[in-house]
Amino acid sequence: MGLVTDEVRARAEKYTGDELCREKTKEFLKEVDMPNGLLPLKDIEEVGYDRETGVVWLKQKKSITHKFEAIGKLVSYGTEVTAVVEVGKIKKLTGVKAKELLIWVTLNELVLEQPASSGKINFRTPTGLSRTFPVSAFVVPEVEKPAPVKEAIAN
């Protein structure tokens, strides 16, 4: 993981365990104003975020392929996904590919189009190709966790 040096790891917030890692991934995406469903990973072993440099990494047990139904696109996520994040942008992305026609294309940058009210997100490849999609295709409805119920003490 080229972006994730020992120095970055030492400074970063690190989390382990699938449920906590999924929660933290959504929090990080929300912090940088990106759609919460961009990284639908499973069996996540570790998530790290160095706020100083913006470096984020995610490790999952095995690669997965996810279909974003709203746009009919397949995206493959490797066992390690790394990126540098800032508000409205994920750059230096590694470990993510999208299927275009019959080939898998590496994605290296995701950018919200400005103004943000346009509701569009742009996916870019290292070769300069790009595709734009509605942000709504990558939003997962938030499920409200019920408040803990306190049992009444009977006298």
What region does 5 belong to: left with phi over 0, alpha with psi -120 to 50, or beta?
beta
pTM of structure: 0.85
The pLDDT tens digits for 56-100 are: 999 999 999 999 999 999 999 999 999 999 999 999 999 999 999
The span from the CA of 13 to the CA of 25, in Å, is: 12
Read off the tokens for 5.
């040096």
Bridge partner residues of 58 (DSSP): 47, 81
Tokens of 61: 């047990």
Q: Which residues of the chain have pLDDT under 70?
A: 1, 143-155
